[in-house]
Amino acid sequence: MELFTTSDGWQFLFRWMHFLAGITWIGMLYYFNFVQTPFFATELGGQARSQVVRGLLPKALWWFRWGAMFTIISGWAIIALRHVQGVEFTDPYMTRILTGGLIGTIMWANVWFVIWPIQQKVIASAEAVAGGGEANSEAAALAPKAANASRTNTLLSIPMLFFMGSASFLATFNNGTNDSTYWIVAGLVILAVEWNGISAPGKSTQKLLASVSGTIHGGLILTVILYLVGVLLNS
């Protein structure tokens, strides 16, 4: 019964939940960006788009958004419990885990407040057309914004997972405290990437988001930049 009666037990339970929900969330994110979107760009995918949007997408988005929700809840529960156990916010572990947590929280917000509301309109428009009605022009206009937000989440997931892993397994990185200089620089870099992704589509700075390979390369570049910020400003 130590699993339910000790703080270490609850720490494990929250971490288990975090793994399960995170795999569900990021797995669906990668499916959308690495499989479904490229498929829609093919001739066969274009023909099947309406059926996929109406039949498969609603269920996939359910697992996607609730995976994101439970990932965030369990993640912040882990951080809160670690603090209760005596890990101060100035501890190097917190520097790394909170950087990943900040990125993950931005990704969660993209899911619930950008991607999901737009996809609801896209699904409703597809249903209307299938029923003999008119397509929703607003849905068509907003779809590129949802796509960019989803690609941005894919890009951000790469440094997010790096920082989550580094919290426990890369003790030589970010040995300093959570000072304001680190958070100002790292925060501005992360927010700049986020703003670029959710602003009006079509900007030259969004070229990386136009392809899977560009998105992955962008995520790797951002990981290196944030790593160097951590090494140089928080050592």
Cβ contact 160:219 at 8 Å: no
pLDDT-derived band at 178, boundaries 50, 70, 90: low
Average pLDDT over residues 215-221: 97
Report the C-alpha gap between 156 and 26 in whole angstroms: 11
Please give the residue that has the higher pLDDT: either 182 or 29.
29
**Residue (of 212, 207, 60) closest to 122 by Cα position:** 60
Number of Cβ within a 10 Å radius of residue 81? 17
pLDDT tens sequence across 83-113: 999 988 888 888 889 999 999 999 999 999 9
Contacts of 173 (CB under 8 A, 6+ apart): 96, 166, 227, 230, 231
pLDDT at 173 over 70: no
CA angle 36, 42, 45 (to 5 degrees): 55
* All structural domains of the chain with their residue ranges: 2-233
pLDDT tens sequence across 30-77: 999 999 999 999 999 999 999 999 999 999 999 999 999 999 999 999
pLDDT at 217 over 90: yes
Residues written for the chain: 235
pLDDT tens sequence across 107-149: 999 999 999 999 999 999 999 999 999 999 999 999 999 999 9
Cβ contact 143:120 at 8 Å: no
